[in-house]
Amino acid sequence: METRFVYPDDCIAALATPFGESALAVIRTSGAGSIESLAKLTENPESLEKAGGNTMVFGYLKDPDTSEQIDQVMFGIFRAPKSYTGEDSVEMYCHGSIPGIDRILQTLFSHGFRQAQGGEFTLRAFLNGKMDLTQAEAVHELVTARTRTAQHLALGRLKGSIYHQIDGYKKLLIRVQAGVSIQLDYPDDEVEEIPWDFEVLDRIQKGLETLLASYSTGRLFQEGVVVALAGRTNAGKSSLFNLFLKEDRSIVSAIPGTTRDYIEAPLSLKGVPVKLYDTAGLRVIEESIEQEGIRRTTQVMGRSDCILYLVDGTQGLTPEDEEQLATWEQRPLIRVWNKIDAEGVLRTPAGFLPLSATTGEGFSSLEDRLYTEAVKSRGAGLEGTDAVIDSARQKRCLEDTLGALADLQQGIAQRMPLDALALDLQRALGALGEITGEVTREDILDAMFSGFCVGK
Ligand SMILES: Nc1nc2c(ncn2[C@@H]2O[C@H](COP(=O)(O)OP(=O)(O)O)[C@@H](O)[C@H]2O)c(=O)[nH]1
Ligand SMILES: [Mg+2]
């Protein structure tokens, strides 16, 4: 298989900020010789060549072919190994006009620099030992986090929350392995004792299981949950939608059937990213536009993680509501009795949450309930969220490790020969090492870093 990163040690450059008009644009470069190559593109090459690491240099970029000035720039100079990538590196703080950025990049690309591929800076950081793979993945997660909690969890991983745990378990396993090796080296020792420290093995397994279980929580924060508002027209879905968003996004109207298509909006529910859908009401009607709206409503309900089903408390439960509730019974669903502020509202039946989408009464209980449902429907737990894994790759490695450890325990119970058991142990250690990237194949690296944005 062809991999993209064979000998990634040439000079790369990329725009690290969005390509658009802004006060500043940051252009990142890295690679042996990058400082010298860049110096040639400035009015005063010595100021860069002689600059120490971790210093800023003020100057002008020029096109060496025409000697024309391109931009006034602050150069951040980093010298190997003290840089993000571990290589010589220059970060340029330029002016953020689109033609300006374009001109600078074109000049770099025709004078010794190549366009960096997605994630290539972080890949180099990993290859140069600046971070382990869980931290490299956290960089990506940190950039793409959608809520504050997600961002916080990713930052924890970047600081090494996963790495330190894995490293701890690995050291314990190596101790177990050492005990086995001694036994293997001196087989004719009369000790028939099995050299297994079951207490330590248990501790490792439990710890890894906890980490593995945190994956659903990690995914919850990364992907978020889909919540659909449903119910008959005029139940107050659009009003509730706006209450969630704290703004008037969806049209609220006393005329039935105003919302004909669904609209969606992102929001954060106590740190969990939610995609909330306001749907067309469920109402049997001849008109074809509205029928299409209803078809789409059913579709959105079908793929949601939780349905908020609203009933107009002044109207009470209709046969249509009963039918809908029966249809979606198997799904995570919260029954909401709306319009409790209204004159002549009927008593809230058992199993319904009282709400006024107009006054906001009952809304915080609804939020609590939705949060619990959303977390539960994803099988996530939020206790001890200091180390949460959020990578399918890490999950697979943990499963491999636990698989090998289970084989080991079974082998011990069946009194398998020690050298066979030593192989299980080796397999467990290998899978554990893969998590942090001590043993990682190039194609895995390739797949992993290609999901990054350019400039990271
Ligand atoms: N009194 C009262 N009226 C409400 C409440 N929620 C919605 N309404 C009214 O009910 C009508 C329909 O609301 P809307 O949100 O458009 O319902 P939808 O068709 O389900 O989206 C509008 O006139 C709203 O002002 C509520 O909690 N209390
Ligand atoms: Mg509506």
* Ligand minimally distant from the alpha carbon of residue 255: 1
82-86, 252-256, 351-355: range with lowest mean pLDDT:
252-256
Looking up residue 275, the CATH number of its domain turns out to be: 3.40.50.300
Mean of pLDDT values over 1-5: 42
- Domain membership flag for residue 161: yes
- Domain membership flag for residue 435: yes
269-306, pLDDT tens digit by residue? 888 899 999 987 665 555 555 667 777 888 888 889 99
- Specify the ligand 1 atom closest to the Cα of 251: 16
From 232, 239, 300, give the residue whose CB has the most ligand 1 atoms within 8 Å, as the site to mutate: 239
Residue 79 has pLDDT above 80, yes or no: yes
Residue nearest to atom 2 of ligand 1 (CA): 339
Q: Are residues 161 and 124 in the same domain?
A: no
Q: Are residues 370 and 263 in the same domain?
A: yes
Q: Are residues 298 and 408 in the same domain?
A: no
Q: Is 346 exposed, middle or buried (0-12, 13-18, 19+ CB in 10 A)?
A: middle
Q: Any idea which residue has 């090796």 for tokens?
A: 181
Taking phi over 0 as left and psi of -120 to 50 as alpha, with beta for the rest, 197 belongs to beta
13-27, 116-130, 135-149, 367-381: range with lowest mean pLDDT:
367-381
- Domain membership flag for residue 6: no
Mean of pLDDT values over 239-247: 91
Looking up residue 429, the CATH number of its domain turns out to be: 1.20.120.430
**Cα 361 to ligand 1 centre (Å):** 14
Provide the pLDDT for residue 146: 85
Q: Are residues 86 and 181 in the same domain?
A: no
Query: What is the spatial distance between Cα 154 and Cα 389, in angstroms, rounded to a whole number?
Result: 9
Residue 191 has pLDDT above 70, yes or no: no
* Ligand minimally distant from the alpha carbon of residue 232: 1
Residue 180 has pLDDT above 90, yes or no: no
- Domain membership flag for residue 382: no
From 229, 234, 297, give the residue whose CB has the most ligand 1 atoms within 8 Å, as the site to mutate: 234
- Count: domains in the chain: 3
Looking up residue 76, the CATH number of its domain turns out to be: 3.30.1360.120
Residue 445 has pLDDT above 80, yes or no: no
What is the 3 state secondary structure string of 129-182?
CCCCHHHHHHHHHHHHCCCHHHHHHHHHHHCCHHHHHHHHHHHHHHHHHHHHHH
Both tokens of 435, joined, read: 């998590």
Residue nearest to atom 16 of ligand 1 (CA): 252
Q: Are residues 371 and 251 in the same domain?
A: yes
Both tokens of 428, joined, read: 């467990």
Q: Are residues 345 and 396 in the same domain?
A: no
**Cα 239 to ligand 2 centre (Å):** 7
Residue 195 belongs to domain spanning = 143-219+387-449
Residue nearest to atom 11 of ligand 1 (CA): 254
- Specify the ligand 1 atom closest to the Cα of 338: 27
Long-range contacts of residues 149-153, Cβ cutoff 8 Å, at least 24 apart: 149/221, 149/270, 149/271, 149/272, 150/221, 150/222, 150/271, 150/273, 153/218, 153/221, 153/385, 153/388, 153/390
272 contact partners, CB below 8 Å, separation of at least 6 = 147, 149, 220, 221, 224, 225, 371, 374, 375
Q: Are residues 34 and 100 in the same domain?
A: yes
- Domain membership flag for residue 2: no
Q: Are residues 209 and 264 in the same domain?
A: no
Q: Are residues 404 and 268 in the same domain?
A: no
Query: What is the spatial distance between Cα 215 and Cα 397, in angstroms, rounded to a whole number?
Result: 12
- Domain membership flag for residue 239: yes
Q: Are residues 284 and 362 in the same domain?
A: yes
Taking phi over 0 as left and psi of -120 to 50 as alpha, with beta for the rest, 316 belongs to left
Residue type, 259: T
Q: Are residues 254 and 154 in the same domain?
A: no
Residue 4 has pLDDT above 50, yes or no: no
CA angle 292, 293, 294 (to 5 degrees): 90
- Domain membership flag for residue 454: no
Residue nearest to atom 8 of ligand 1 (CA): 236
From 240, 242, 252, give the residue whose CB has the most ligand 1 atoms within 8 Å, as the site to mutate: 252
**Cα 92 to ligand 1 centre (Å):** 54
Q: Is 120 exposed, middle or buried (0-12, 13-18, 19+ CB in 10 A)?
A: buried
Q: What is the pTM of this model?
A: 0.76
Residue 5 has pLDDT above 60, yes or no: no
Q: Which of 336, 358, 377 is the last residue of a domain?
A: 377
**Cβ contact 287:276 at 8 Å:** no
Question: 454, 448, 451: which is closest to 13 by C-alpha?
Answer: 454
Q: Are residues 286 and 394 in the same domain?
A: no
- What residues flank ligand 1, with Cβ below 6 Å? 231, 233-239, 252-254, 258-259, 281, 338-339, 341-342, 356-358
Are β-strands 306-312 and 333-338 bridged in parallel, bridged antiparallel, or unpaired?
parallel
**Cβ contact 56:74 at 8 Å:** yes
Classify the C-alpha dihedral 45-50-54-56 as positive or negative: negative
Q: Which of 96, 131, 166 is the last residue of a domain?
A: 131
Q: Which of 98, 131, 164 is the last residue of a domain?
A: 131
Q: How many CB atoms lie within 10 A of CB 141?
A: 21
- Domain membership flag for residue 183: yes
DSSP bridge partners of 311: 337
pLDDT bracket for residue 149 (50, 70, 90): confident
